[in-house]
Chains A and B, each alone.
Chain A
């Protein structure tokens, strides 16, 4: 049951987007978010939506996969558009009913908002779809490297993320085992009200925590035995390298941002 949980929804592939430098992808995602919020009219947003569609086509990610990430935000999209629809009462009234006034302005604003939210989620999910967790961690470590100057433990953060990802499957397995062990001792995990069920989790969580601490201790010793002494003086086997294609991708996204700004000013 717990095996179904997947963390970091990486979709394996060999497309241009998969091959781009993860640092550039993170920067591009950031620029893309800025562009989405900078776009104040429909044409600007259309550009944003267009980028998303092109990107998904490039990465060859199936529609089903995209829908999975959009599903949780459908209620949010609906609520925002309904609120916008009913409470934006300026402009040409299309029809009035009781206290509700629907205006053309309202409709267009609701559409703009929905498109913006959908593009935002679809665009940012693309980053995790096309980048392995380990590449993401490396990228974060390197992009945040300047923050070491203000004593932010960047390397330690990245190491923590790597270890966390490494131990997710191990701990999930362990949880499964503990659950079975407790069931074998007569623990009832599936019936009863919410309070009873939460209480039933206690005998699972306690052994899980105890074993996680023991693992942490052993791992720390094993890491020390392998000469680990923090980020100082550490080299890497695989270096991230910016290639020409990364440069072009960066220029492309900057051009899009510039385009959106121009559309804002001139249209």
Chain B
């Protein structure tokens, strides 16, 4: 396991404003003993409401923040080791919420070239990486334009290209879609899928959207600095009551199936998408046609 874990934390604890402990209130840990291992090539979503510590956790993954106690390892490098900072940053790329505040240059291709330039790569190789990165996010035709002319979703794709050009092993996205309109969100999510297919890159997606979280292979749910659920999205979403109790929702399809089952409909529970949900319900009614009278009433009750 040691070999395959790209990111690893051991009993990670963290508080902001170290040394300025508030006198009146108890000084709470933002991250309170987190131990996780993220495997190479996986797609992990971290879900939590505001203030659950999910962004703080993300900032530990490439040494923007250092743990107060415990350890964080990136490819077996301790993030507290300042001499390896460059290697850590190169291995783990970060995409932030606001696309506007991540772009440096006035021309898109110059911006994408920013990271490789900083890494001291030869100019021919930079050119190749920039073209490749822009193509993989579908922004190649815009390479000579200014970021000011782009939509939010396009800007965020350029920001992702800027990270891809670094050729990191892992990309951590801190709510990359929260400032975008639905269309921009679809563009960015589509880009994430493409990148996983193309580079086999490890993705850590911090989000509070259920539908985004459902795309992942593995889902971590955070609350008050702790990881309270960890598993495949399907398994995690079965804990509907726990998820609801911390102020989050589950995807509507999961909730519907759950409610129907509570009414005694006995549908299969391995369902995430709306289409699958509809299929499952249709399947059920086809199978149980004679008895559908009373069960149909149960179904209607739930819908109401």
Contact = CB atoms under 8 A, between A and B. Distances in A.
A225 B103 contact: no
Contact of B162 (A163, A218, A226): A226
Given A222-B101, A235-B126, A134 B106 contact: yes
Contacts of A228: 114, 118
B123 A227 contact: no
A246 B101 CA distance: 37
Contact of B110 (A221, A223, A233, A237): A237
Contacts of A218: 96, 98, 101-102
Given A134-B105, A239-B123, A227 B118 contact: yes
B64 A221 contact: yes
A250 interface: no
Contact of B106 (A165, A219, A225, A235): A165
A29 to B, nearest CB: 22
Given A166-B147, A237-B123, A237-B127, A226 B106 contact: no
A227 B104 contact: no
A219 B118 contact: no
- How large, as a class, is the contact surface on chain B? 35 or more
Contact of B123 (A162, A223, A233, A238): A238
Contacts of A215: 98, 100-101
A234 B147 contact: no
Interface string A223-265: 1111111000111111100000000000000000000000000
Nearest to A219: B101
Interface string B127-153: 100100000000000000011100000
B47 interface: no
B24 interface: no
Nearest to A166: B106
Nearest to B59: A221
Contacts of A133: 106
Interface in B166-217: 166
Contacts of A162: 104-106
A219 B86 CA distance: 18
A37 to B, nearest CB: 34
A223 B147 CA distance: 16
Interface in B77-91: 86, 89-90
B281 interface: no
B38 to A, nearest CB: 18
Interface residues of A, dominant DSSP: helix
Contacts of B163: 225-226
Nearest to B146: A169
A234 B117 contact: yes
A170 interface: yes
Contact of A227 (B89, B101, B146): B89
B96 A235 contact: no
B145 to A, nearest CB: 12
Contacts of B106: 133-134, 162, 165-166
A239 B96 CA distance: 30
B297 interface: no
Nearest to A163: B104
Contact of B117 (A134, A163, A219, A236): A236
Contact of B64 (A163, A224, A229): A224
Contacts of B119: 227
A219 B113 contact: no
B122 A235 contact: yes
B166 A235 contact: no
B228 interface: no
B105 A225 contact: no
Contacts of A234: 117-118, 120
B166 A227 contact: yes
Given A218-B96, A237-B127, A225 B64 contact: yes
Nearest to B148: A169
B64 A223 contact: no
B62 interface: yes
Question: Closest 6 interchain pairs by CB?
Answer: A169-B148, A226-B115, A218-B101, A237-B113, A222-B102, A227-B118
Given A133-B106, A225-B94, A226-B114, 11 more contacts: A165-B106, A166-B103, A222-B102, A224-B64, A225-B93, A226-B93, A229-B86, A233-B120, A235-B116, A236-B113, A239-B123
Interface of B: 62, 64, 86, 89-90, 93-94, 96, 98, 100-107, 109-110, 113-123, 126-127, 130, 146-148, 162-163, 166
11 contacts: A134-B110, A218-B101, A221-B64, A224-B89, A225-B94, A225-B163, A226-B115, A226-B166, A233-B120, A235-B123, A237-B116
